[in-house]
C-alpha cells in the first residue's frame, strides 16, 4: 500500500509568524502532536508537542512570571521553536518505507510532500492502524508461532499444513527465529487452533506458541 492511500489530506498548518498561544490552541484541543509550518505553500518546518513543551520550559527558566511570562509567550513565534530539518515522504512511497523512516529516525510523523509542497501528513497511528488491519487482529483469530529450522522447509509447507487442517489463514509474516532459523507467524480465523497445530507438528514443525484469540472487533 502507498502513502497516498493512508495519509491525512486535511492538514492543519501554521506559518513561521504564528505565535505560540495559537500553536497551543491548535495542538491541545484537537489532540494533534505535530503542526507543519508553511511559507508560500512550501514546507519550511514542523512543530511537535515536544517542541512546544521545551519552549515553555525555556521561558519558565528565564525567571519571568505572571504578565511578563505571558507576554513572552505571546511574542514567541513558530519560526523560533520549529524543527527546520524535516524528514518527509512522497505520496507514491510505500507504507513500509514510512515505518522504516519513523523507526530509524525515532519520529512519529512524516509530512507528505510533492514538488516541495505539502499535500498531507502520515503519523505512526496511521501506520499502526494499517498493520493491525493487515495482521487480522481485529477479528476472532488465533496466532501460531512456527519455528522453521532450515531452508529445506518453507512458507509454502506451513501454509499447506494449516489449510489442510481446514483453517483459513488471515495473515502470515516471517521473522528471524532462534538459532539462525526462521519463525513464521500465522494468524488463522478460528479461536480453536488445535487442528492446525496438530497438522503442523505432524509435518515436523515445532509450534513454539499458539495464542488462542478472542473477538476483538470494536
Inter-residue contact 82 to 18 (CB < 8 Å): no
76 and 176 housed in the same domain: no
> Over the stretch 99-147, which tens digit does the pLDDT of each residue have?
999 999 999 999 999 998 999 999 999 999 998 888 888 888 999 999 8
Q: How far apart are CA 158 and CA 106, in angstroms?
A: 35
Confidence band of 211 (pLDDT split at 50, 70, 90): confident
Shared domain check, 140 and 80: no
Q: 102 and 199 share a domain?
A: no
Return the higher-pLDDT residue of 30 and 13: 13
Taking CA atoms, 103 is separated from 85, 173, 174, 200, in Å, by: 17, 19, 19, 34
Under 8 Å between Cβ of 59 and 66: no
If one counts every other C-beta atom within 10 angstroms of the C-beta of residue 76, the result is 19
Domain contains 216:
no
Distance between CA atoms of residues 138 and 8, nearest Å:
22
Number of domains in the chain: 2
Residue 123: in which H helix or E strand, if any? strand 117-123
Residues 155-167 have pLDDT tens digits of: 899 999 999 999 9
In a domain, 217, yes or no: no
Cα–Cα distance, 169 to 182 (Å, whole number): 19
- Write down the mean pLDDT value for the chain: 88
Which range (42-46, 72-76, 110-114) has the least confidence?
72-76
What pLDDT score does 151 carry?
62
Domain of residue 143, residue span: 136-211
Domain holding 183: CATH number? 3.30.70.260
Residue 26: what pLDDT? 85
Alpha helices in the chain (DSSP H): 3-6, 20-27, 49-60, 67-75, 78-81, 95-105, 124-135, 155-164, 194-202
Helix (H) or strand (E) holding 122: strand 117-123
- Let me know if 34 is exposed, middle or buried by CB neighbors in 10 A (0-12, 13-18, 19+): buried
- CA nearest neighbour of 137 among 188, 194, 197, 183: 188
CB-based burial of residue 216 (10 Å sphere; 0-12 exposed, 13-18 middle, 19+ buried)? exposed
In a domain, 198, yes or no: yes
pTM: 0.77
Q: How many residues in the chain?
A: 218
Tell the residue number behind the cell numbers 492446525, with chain if given: 196
- 146 bridge partner residues: 184, 207
Cα separation, 189 vs 143, whole angstroms: 9
Say yes or no: 146 and 127 in one domain.
no
* Residue 217 pLDDT greater than 60, yes or no: no
pLDDT band at 218 (very low <50, low <70, confident <90, very high): very low
Tens of pLDDT, residue by residue over 23-39, are 988 887 777 889 999 99
In this predicted structure, what is the pLDDT of residue 118?
A: 95
Has residue 218 been placed in a domain? no
Amino acid at each position: 500500500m502507498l502513502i497516498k492511500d493512508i495519509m491525512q489530506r486535511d492538514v492543519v498548518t501554521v506559518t513561521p509568524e504564528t505565535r505560540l498561544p495559537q500553536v497551543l490552541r491548535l495542538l491541545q484541543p484537537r489532540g494533534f502532536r505535530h503542526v507543519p509550518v508553511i511559507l508560500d505553500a512550501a514546507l519550511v518546518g514542523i512543530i511537535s508537542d515536544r517542541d512546544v513543551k521545551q519552549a515553555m520550559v525555556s521561558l519558565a527558566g528565564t525567571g519571568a512570571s505572571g504578565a511578563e511570562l505571558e507576554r513572552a509567550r505571546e511574542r514567541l513565534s513558530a519560526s523560533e521553536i520549529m524543527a527546520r530539518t524535516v524528514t518527509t515522504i512522497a505520496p507514491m512511497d510505500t507504507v513500509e518505507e514510512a515505518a522504516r523512516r519513523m523507526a530509524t529516525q525515532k519520529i512519529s510523523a512524516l509530512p507528505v510532500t510533492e514538488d516541495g509542497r505539502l499535500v498531507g501528513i502520515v503519523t505512526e497511528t496511521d501506520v499502526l492502524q494499517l498493520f493491525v488491519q493487515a495482521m487480522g487482529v481485529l477479528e476472532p483469530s488465533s496466532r501460531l508461532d512456527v519455528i522453521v529450522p532450515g531452508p529445506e522447509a518453507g512458507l509454502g509447507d506451513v501454509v499447506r499444513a494449516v489449510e489442510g487442517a481446514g483453517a483459513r489463514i488471515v495473515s502470515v509474516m516471517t521473522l528471524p527465529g532462534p538459532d539462525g532459523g526462521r519463525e513464521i507467524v500465522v494468524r488463522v480465523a478460528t479461536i480453536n487452533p488445535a487442528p492446525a497445530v496438530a497438522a503442523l507438528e505432524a509435518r515436523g514443525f515445532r509450534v513454539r506458541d499458539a495464542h488462542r484469540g478472542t473477538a476483538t472487533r470494536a
